[in-house]
Amino acid sequence: MKTLLSTGVLLLSIAASNTALAQKALLAQGPPTISCGSYAEARIDEGTLGPNSIRIVSWVQGYLSGYNSYAKQPVVAVPTIAGIATFLDKYCADNPMHRVSNGIDSLLAELGGYKQPYLSK
C-alpha cells in the first residue's frame, strides 16, 4: 500500500510539473535559441553547409516564409540557403554573445520586413 501511495504521489507531481511547463509560453524553440557563438562553432566544425548549418538556415527560410504568409506588409524576398548562411556568418562573427534569433530579426529588417524596436537603438 505504501508503494502504491508513493507511486501515486510521484505521478501527480510529474503531471503538475508538465502542466506548469506547458503553461509557460515560449516565443521560439529550436535553432533561434542557440547563441551566435554556438552557430559559429558549428559552421567552423562543418567547414561548409553541413547538417547542423542546413537545419538552422532551413528553419530561417521557413520562418521568413511564415512571416510572408502572415505579414500585412511588406512581404520580403526569402534568400537562398547560401544567402542566409552568409548573413548569419557575418552577424554571428560580429555578435557572438547574441542569439541566432537576433540575427534573424536583423535579416528580416534588412530585407524590408518588420524592424524589432530593440534594433532601433
What pLDDT score does 94 carry? 93
Most confident of 37-41, 65-69, 90-94: 90-94
Do residues 81 and 61 touch, judged by C-beta distance below 8 A?
A: yes
Q: What is the mean pLDDT of residues 91-112?
A: 91
- Domain residue ranges in the chain: 28-120
What percent of the chain is predicted at pLDDT more than 70?
71
Q: Identify the CATH assignment for 28-120 out of 1.10.287, 3.30.310, 1.10.890, 1.10.1760.
A: 1.10.890
Structure-model confidence comparison of residues 43 and 79, the more confident one: 79
The pLDDT tens digits of the residues spanning 2-52 come to 554 444 443 444 444 444 444 445 456 677 788 898 888 888 777 777 788
